[in-house]
Amino acid sequence: MKITLAGAGAFGQKHLDAVKAIGGIEVDSLVGRELAPTREVAGKYGIPFATTSLTEALARPGVAAAILATPTQLHAAQAIECLEAGKHVQVEIPLADSWSDAEAVARAQRETGLVCMVGHTRRFNPSHQWIHRRITARELNVQQMDVQTFFFRRTNMNALGQPRSWTDHLLWHHAAHTVDLFAYQTGSQIVTAHAIQGPLHPKLGIAMDMSIQLKAASGAICTLSLSFNNDGPLGTFFRYICDNGTYIARYDDLVDGKDQKIDVSKVDVSMNGIELQDREFFAAIREKREPNASVLQVLPCYRTLAELERQLGSQG
């Protein structure tokens, strides 16, 4: 399968590493904001063509699909461009930074019938897969999720320590992971959602601290705390309080409530969540089916984010 990848930064390179591990996929072109660094990354990964134009990359012969690891503000428009060009597309989280844009992508997917998947990686991390399989086997139910998403990002830098051309967002990016995962793990829609935020950063113009409360139709609740002000430890930590045990997921590590390690190495073919979501994307294309984390499956998450944004805006 021949694909193009847009985004030569930190997450674009994570996808390139994943594609290399999967095998059988040819990255035909790499799209970046600036040509010189894009060519450098393309050379590192043996990609034959580098460009600053997604349109040019999509028009290359034989390209069947695209992966978008570009700035958040470009996701919706680029996903629609891919679909309208007849290409399957996986767009990194978040799908969009507004409800209207998220709806527009879903509409384009329905009109084209192509695979459109969103990078909700938590659905694929082995630690969360282990929990999900026990839920679907009716061995446990989530009563409460307590989640901390903590970073130290007082300047506009990416995961490689390089300056960003865009501004990240606690609500539309980082909260999206947990809002979707909570609905996915409880198997029911979110019926109540509340949010408060701290002061806006004087230069970045975004809230650096945020607290979100959710309730699912099942009765389960979720408390999510997010910060760009936290000076370590960094990352996202999930506590699942269930009717049959407590479990704590730290990325791909999982322990029970007594801090006993649970082996999740055999849950899937890899411990790399990005690789696993890319495998699902390519498999869905080959098998002509809807993927896990399809745009239609994750769309309710963005409706909830829009409601939270409305609440935060009304707070002044």
What is the CATH classification number for the domain harbouring 143? 3.30.360.10
Question: Whose CA is closest to 174, among 196, 147, 200?
Answer: 147
Nearest 5°: CA angle at 80, between 113 and 30?
110
183 and 287 fall within a common domain? no
**251 three-class SS:** coil
Asked whether residue 266 is domain-assigned, the answer is no
pLDDT at 153 over 70: yes
Asked whether residue 82 is domain-assigned, the answer is yes
Asked whether residue 115 is domain-assigned, the answer is yes
Q: Which residue range(s) make up the domain with 55?
A: 2-121+274-294
78 and 41 fall within a common domain? yes
Asked whether residue 264 is domain-assigned, the answer is no
129 and 237 fall within a common domain? yes
| pTM reported for the whole predicted model | 0.94
23 and 74 fall within a common domain? yes
pLDDT at 43 over 70: yes
Report, as an integer, the average pLDDT of 29-52: 97
136 and 114 fall within a common domain? no
- Where does the pLDDT of residue 108 fall: very low under 50, low under 70, confident under 90, or very high at 90 and above? very high
Percentage, residues of the chain above pLDDT 70? 96
Report, as an integer, the average pLDDT of 73-95: 98
d(CA 38, CA 59): 18
- Where does the pLDDT of residue 314 fall: very low under 50, low under 70, confident under 90, or very high at 90 and above? confident
113 and 127 fall within a common domain? no
Mean of per-residue pLDDT scores for the chain: 95
pLDDT of residue 168: 79
Asked whether residue 268 is domain-assigned, the answer is no
102 and 206 fall within a common domain? no
Task: Give the tokens for residue 67.
Answer: 């992966």
- Where does the pLDDT of residue 158 fall: very low under 50, low under 70, confident under 90, or very high at 90 and above? low
Report, as an integer, the average pLDDT of 108-127: 98
Report, as an integer, the average pLDDT of 255-268: 97
252 and 129 fall within a common domain? yes
174 and 309 fall within a common domain? yes
pLDDT at 99 over 90: yes
Asked whether residue 9 is domain-assigned, the answer is yes
pLDDT of residue 159: 61
12 and 132 fall within a common domain? no
According to DSSP, the β-strands at 209-216 and 221-227 are antiparallel
223 and 154 fall within a common domain? yes
Asked whether residue 269 is domain-assigned, the answer is no
Question: Whose CA is closest to 241, among 131, 144, 172, 163?
Answer: 144
Domains in the chain, number: 2
pLDDT at 13 over 80: yes
44 and 103 fall within a common domain? yes
What is the CATH classification number for the domain harbouring 278? 3.40.50.720
- Where does the pLDDT of residue 22 fall: very low under 50, low under 70, confident under 90, or very high at 90 and above? very high
pLDDT of residue 161: 67
Asked whether residue 265 is domain-assigned, the answer is no
